[in-house]
Every structure is written in C-alpha cells, then in structure tokens.
C-alpha cells in the first residue's frame, strides 16, 4: 500500500481513494479459476481459427462471434505488487475490459507481484505458456532487444510535462514502435506477440536528499540510475551514476550511500522514499531516458480462436486508460506526498536543460544507428510533434506545472478518448484477422 506521511491522511485523498477503489472493485470481478497456460487448445493457424468480428462491432455481434467457443481462462501478470497498489489500475482495468467484452467467456486470472516470473524471466514464461498476458520490461535485456533499447533511449528527445507530455510520449512511442518491422520481428523471434509494443510509462525525476537547484549542485552527486543511457546523461551533467537494485535504494539514501535516485515518482511514493529523499527536480525541454514497458502475449494467445484474440487486442484501449491513471494520477498523489513531507519540487535550471538536451540528441542518434534505425531520433521527434497537436485537439492540456500537479489535476479524468484515438490511428492495421 502507498506509504504516505505519518499523519495517516493522504495529501490527495480523493485521488488516492479513486485509484484504490478502482483496483478493489475491478479485482472483485476477476474470476480466479484455472492456471497458467489454460488459454485454450491449438488452432489451425497462428492467426487464430474461426471467424472474428470488426473493430467497433456492437456487443451483440461480438457475442455472436463467441457463441460457439468454449470458455477460457488467461493468466495475466501486470506490473503492480498487489491489488491495493496505486499502480493496480494498470492491471485491473484491462482485466475488467476483457471479461466484459467477452461476455464473461474469457476469465482473467491476475497474478500480482511477478509471482510466476520476474521481469528477467517473464518473456520466457510467455513463450512457454506459463503466463498468457503480461506487462514486461524489454529494456531490462538490451542484448535480446536492441531495437527496443534504442527506442527507449530515443524517447528522451521528447519534451515533457506532467500531463499532456505523458500522453504524447506514450502515443508517439507506440506509433514509432508499431512502425518498425525490425522491432516486431525482434519480439516474434522470442516467441512473443506484441499487443502494445512500447508503452512509455511515466517520466523520470531526480529524487534527492538535498535540492538540485543549480548546475553546480550536480557536481559529485551520487545518483542511482536504471540504464546505460541514464548513466551517460547523469555523467554528462557532472554527477556520478550508481547502479543499484531499486529495493536497496531507500536504505542507500537513508545511509547517505547515494544522494539521489533517478526514477519515477509512483514507486518512490509506494516505497516510502520521500521519508528520506523529499527534493524533486525535473527537465521540461527534453527528458531522461525512460525504461518503457510493453504489453505482451505469448504461445497461448496465438493458439486462441481469432475472436478471442481480437477481444484481447481491442482491450489495449483500456490498457492505455489504466496506464495513464497510473502515470499521471499516481504522480499527482506523489507530488502531494512530497509537499506534505516538506520537500521541494523544482525545474532544472536552463544551463542544465541545455546540456541535457545536447547530450540526449547525440545519444539518441547513436543508439538508433547502432540498432540499424538511423532515422529513429527524427521519427520520434516527428511523432511527438504530431501527437502534441493531436492531444491538444482531444482536450488534454496541462493546467499548471509539476509543483502544483496535485492541485490542478482532475482525478476524474477519463483517458478512454485518448486510448481510442491512439488505437484507431496506430493499432487497427495490426489487429488480428
């Protein structure tokens, strides 16, 4: 459960209640029957046997397409540690959508906390059928997924903001990923079926024991990082990158072994990190390299009837909804927690942003060239510009900065319109059938 200040009351109670209520309500609808690998017998072809239905079909037409199919149970491993986590909507919203659209013929068994297979093993578990559907982190294995790793790096060329910027990064990342045959082939070679080949998740912030307010403040700082690209960025700013498993970060900050964590705000809030490091700083013109994820299916998904594959694939609209609830809504909770703890939230000074931007452009181009994707940085920038305009047209605009995100963010925001737009403009041409 989210660890907030010792008073016991959340600085953003309405949002916290909403996120946790979403998790509890949706998880109550999940049918916990069957086991991993129970998603059905083999079909006559990899695309799934039987007839399907058109995207956007009426529920009656979907029911008709599924009428003669046997019920199945799929095992889904989301990213959250439990149904009580602020990150839970990333799992429960998707599961609820699959069950509802299938009329209950697909039951979703949610397995929390990577209990079947951790992030370093989950791709193997998908390929051999122990897990049917999962949120994975291909960035953890750059040797196996070099094109994905390059795309992770290239996300840093995008400008960032606490609300609209998060939507742009996720839409642009998905579009560039689906546009890369090399990336799709990279997944398929491992026995994986990408459903969302890249989801940018949330942006990265420095979370420090003392404020980072000037360029000189970076000199000599020991900052925990999570990727080689982040290591380059931190070194270029004059700080010292430290590779450290996330579970050890709290204690390292507490003992002053490190000075900062470069990470996302939601896991920091859930781990209680703001008790020992309550000073946040962030860029706006570019961003730190992210560690994006992907929604993946494996062996058993390809064996399902076509109509079942389509139900699961179309549910990725709900996956975007759940992820944005987590990325943006969870950040609002975290900002409130930092302020409640007496911390500070500051934008990087202009000279730091300039240095970060120059390094990011160089690093992104080199990463693309090494992965055989020479135009990757330009493609990501172009997709970012397109989706910045599109997101504004959809009505998603920032109402302020990170400093007051907990005050201006609407915790009733519905991201289905965003997910639908991305799906219809990017995903439909890759739909099964």
Contact 227, 152 (CB under 8 A): yes
How much is the pLDDT for 79?
Answer: 87
Per DSSP, the residues of 342-367 read T-EEEEPPHHHHHHHHHHHHHHHHHH
Count CB atoms within 10 A of the CB of residue 215. 17
- Kindly give the interhelix angle for 376-393 and 146-154, rounded to the nearest 10 degrees: 60
How much is the pLDDT for 387?
Answer: 97
How much is the pLDDT for 262?
Answer: 96
How much is the pLDDT for 48?
Answer: 64
- Euclidean distance between CA atoms 142 and 149, whole angstroms: 5
Q: Which CATH class is domain 13-207+285-430?
A: alpha beta
Pairing mode of beta strands 106-110, 72-77: parallel
Per DSSP, the residues of 208-263 read ESS---SGGGGTT-EEEESSHHHHHHHHHTT-EEEE--GGGHHHHHHTTS-SEEEE
pLDDT in tens, the chain (433 residues): 223 333 333 333 333 433 333 333 333 333 223 333 334 333 333 456 788 999 999 999 999 999 999 999 999 999 888 888 878 888 899 999 999 999 999 999 999 999 999 999 999 999 999 999 999 999 888 999 999 999 999 999 998 899 999 999 999 999 999 999 999 999 999 999 999 999 998 899 999 999 999 999 999 999 999 888 899 999 999 999 999 888 899 999 999 999 999 999 988 988 899 999 999 999 998 899 988 999 999 999 999 999 999 999 999 999 999 889 888 998 999 999 999 999 999 999 999 999 999 999 999 999 999 999 999 999 999 999 999 999 999 999 999 999 999 999 998 899 999 999 999 999 999 999 9
Give the model confidence (pLDDT) of 112-162 as tens digits. 999 999 999 999 999 999 999 999 999 888 999 999 999 999 999 998 899
Closest CA to 233 of 155, 159, 288: 288
Distances, alpha carbon 410 to alpha carbons 254, 329, 363, 396, in Å: 34, 8, 36, 11
CA 375 to chain centre: 24
Q: Where are the domains of the chain?
A: 13-207+285-430
How much is the pLDDT for 4?
Answer: 32
How much is the pLDDT for 384?
Answer: 96
Global pTM value: 0.85
- Euclidean distance between CA atoms 194 and 190, whole angstroms: 11
Contact 37, 76 (CB under 8 A): no
Distances, alpha carbon 110 to alpha carbons 73, 79, 270, 319, in Å: 10, 11, 20, 14
Backbone angles phi, psi at 344, to 5 degrees: -125, 150
Closest CA to 27 of 94, 111, 70, 83: 83
Closest CA to 297 of 39, 29, 32: 39
Per DSSP, the residues of 5-33 read -TTSS-SSHHHHHHHHHHHHHHHHH----
Closest CA to 111 of 221, 32, 228: 32
- Euclidean distance between CA atoms 30 and 28, whole angstroms: 6
Q: Which tokens sit at 189?
A: 């070679």
- Euclidean distance between CA atoms 392 and 385, whole angstroms: 11
- Euclidean distance between CA atoms 24 and 414, whole angstroms: 18
How much is the pLDDT for 45?
Answer: 32
Could you tell me how many residues make up the chain? 433
Looking at residue 71, the DSSP 8-state letter turns out to be: P
Looking at residue 85, the DSSP 8-state letter turns out to be: S
How much is the pLDDT for 136?
Answer: 95
Pairing mode of beta strands 222-225, 133-136: unpaired
How much is the pLDDT for 50?
Answer: 81
């Amino acid at each position: 459960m989210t660890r907030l200040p010792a008073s016991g009351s959340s600085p953003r109670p309405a949002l916290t209640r909403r996120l946790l209520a979403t998790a509890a309500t949706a998880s109550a609808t999940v049918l916990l029957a069957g086991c991993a690998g129970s998603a059905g017998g083999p079909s006559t072809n990899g695309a799934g046997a039987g007839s399907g239905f058109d995207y956007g079909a009426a529920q009656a037409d979907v029911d008709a397409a599924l009428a003669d199919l046997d019920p199945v149970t799929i095992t889904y491993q989301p990213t959250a540690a439990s149904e009580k986590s602020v990150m839970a909507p990333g799992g429960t919203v998707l599961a609820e959508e699959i069950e509802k659209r299938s009329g209950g013929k697909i039951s979703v068994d949610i397995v929390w906390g990577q209990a079947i297979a951790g992030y370093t093993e989950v791709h193997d578990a998908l390929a051999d059928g122990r897990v049917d559907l999962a949120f994975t982190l291909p960035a953890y294995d750059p040797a196996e997924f070099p094109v994905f790793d390059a795309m992770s790096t290239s996300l840093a060329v995008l400008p960032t903001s606490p609300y609209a910027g998060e939507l742009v990064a996720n839409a642009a990342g998905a579009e560039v990923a689906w546009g890369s045959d090399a990336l799709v082939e990279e997944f398929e070679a491992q026995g994986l079926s990408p459903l969302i080949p890249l989801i940018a998740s949330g942006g990265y912030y420095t979370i420090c024991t003392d404020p980072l307010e000037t360029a000189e403040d970076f000199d000599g700082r020991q900052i925990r990082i999570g990727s080689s690209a982040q290591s380059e960025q931190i070194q270029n700013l004059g700080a010292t990158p430290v590779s450290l498993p996330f579970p050890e970060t709290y204690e390292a900050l507490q003992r002053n072994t490190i000075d900062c964590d470069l990470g996302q705000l939601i896991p920091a809030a859930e781990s209680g990190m703001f008790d020992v490091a309550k000073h946040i700083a962030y860029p706006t013109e570019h961003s730190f390299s992210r560690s994006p994820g992907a929604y993946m299916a494996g062996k058993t998904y390809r064996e399902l009837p076509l109509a079942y594959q389509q139900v699961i694939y179309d549910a990725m609209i709900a996956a975007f909804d759940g992820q944005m609830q987590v990325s943006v809504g969870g950040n609002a909770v975290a900002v409130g927690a930092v302020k409640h703890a007496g911390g500070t939230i500051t934008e990087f000074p202009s000279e730091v942003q300039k240095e970060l931007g120059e390094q990011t452009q160089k690093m992104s181009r080199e990463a693309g060239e090494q992965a055989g994707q020479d135009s990757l940085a330009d493609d990501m920038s172009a997709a970012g510009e397109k989706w910045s305009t599109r997101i504004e047209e959809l009505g998603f605009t920032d109402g302020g900065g990170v400093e007051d995100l907990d005050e201006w963010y609407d915790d009733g925001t519905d991201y289905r319109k965003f997910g639908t737009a991305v799906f219809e403009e990017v995903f439909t041409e890759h739909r099964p059938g």
